[in-house]
Amino acid sequence: DGGITQSPKYLFRKEGQNVTLSCEQNLNHDAMYWYRQDPGQGLRLIYYSQIVNDFQKGDIAEGYSVSREKKESFPLTVTSAQKNPTAFYLCASSKSQGGTGELFFGEGSRLTVL
Amino acid sequence: GQQLNQSPQSMFIQEGEDVSMNCTSSSIFNTWLWYKQEPGEGPVLLIALYKAGELTSNGRLTAQFGITRKDSFLNISASIPSDVGIYFCAGQLVSGSRLTFGEGTQLTVNP
């Protein structure tokens, strides 16, 4: 079945370590997104990519990095520069950037910094 | 960036009751969408609205695109336990632009 796969679902990290979250989609969508979810704060956009080898910062990009080497893949690295990385991270895709507004989300990755 | 004010933040209701929630903005949006997120999952699109005044239903769910284009409403009729989750509104300023999400409404349904 087509969809978005995020891994790992749960991740624990020590302070000062970088960690990479995986996001793969087989929907043939052009655009991909990373959101951060904290209780009571909705979804905040970290980075997004409209096409391969191109990406733009969202509203809270500091302390994060991404790459888009393949259409299907959009990994997110949470670096040690991110001051408060414990959160639920959601990857999403759409047929084109923005488009009709319909996003398809993965199941999320919960990162806990110890 | 743009902000959406979603209310209420949480609701605790009995099975069978109707539910209403809404989103407001100081900006005019071209598109309003409503998503539902179940525990431990990613959000799923429920209803998309593309025209001011539009009223759209999806089963027991009904959403409306406010006539001023600055608000939207979601109603759930005859709630059931599987309605539990977080409901998010999202707005799009113009077609193709990024979405802005509300803070979410946490719905709990007691059997």
pLDDT in tens, B72-111: 999 999 999 999 999 999 999 887 788 899 999 999 999 8
pLDDT, mean of residues B8-37? 96
Question: Which of A42, A58, A105 is closest, CB to CB, to B42?
Answer: A105
A10: Cα separation from own chain's centroid:
14
Cα angle for residues B101, B28, B6 (degrees, 5° grid): 35
Is A100 part of the contact surface with chain B (CB cutoff 8 Å)?
yes
Give the phi and the psi of residue B83 in degrees, each rounded to 5. Answer: -75, -10
CA pair distance B77, B95, nearest whole angstrom: 30
What is the reported pLDDT for B44?
Answer: 96
Question: Which of B1, B42, B99 is closest, CB to CB, to A101?
Answer: B99
Please report, for residues A90, B82, B85, B90, the alpha-carbon distance to residue B63 in angstroms, rounded to integers and kept in the order given: 25, 19, 17, 12
Rg over CA atoms, chain A: 13
Cα distance from B57 to chain A (closest Cα, Å)? Answer: 17
Please report, for residues A45, B36, B56, B86, the alpha-carbon distance to residue A39 in angstroms, rounded to integers and kept in the order given: 15, 15, 29, 11
The answer to whether the Cβ–Cβ distance between B43 and A43 falls below 8 Å is yes
Q: How many residues does chain B have?
A: 111
Residue A96: band (very low, low, confident or very high) from pLDDT cuts 50, 70, 90: confident
Cα distance from A88 to chain B (closest Cα, Å)? Answer: 9
Question: Which of B31, B42, B43 is closest, CB to CB, to A101?
Answer: B31
B67 DSSP 8-state letter: T
What is the reported pLDDT for B2?
Answer: 63
Cis peptide before B8 (omega within 30 of 0): yes
Range among A41-45, A81-85, B26-30, B32-36 with highest mean pLDDT value: B32-36
> Is a pLDDT exceeding 60 seen at residue B1?
no
Interface contacts (A, B; CB < 8 Å): 60
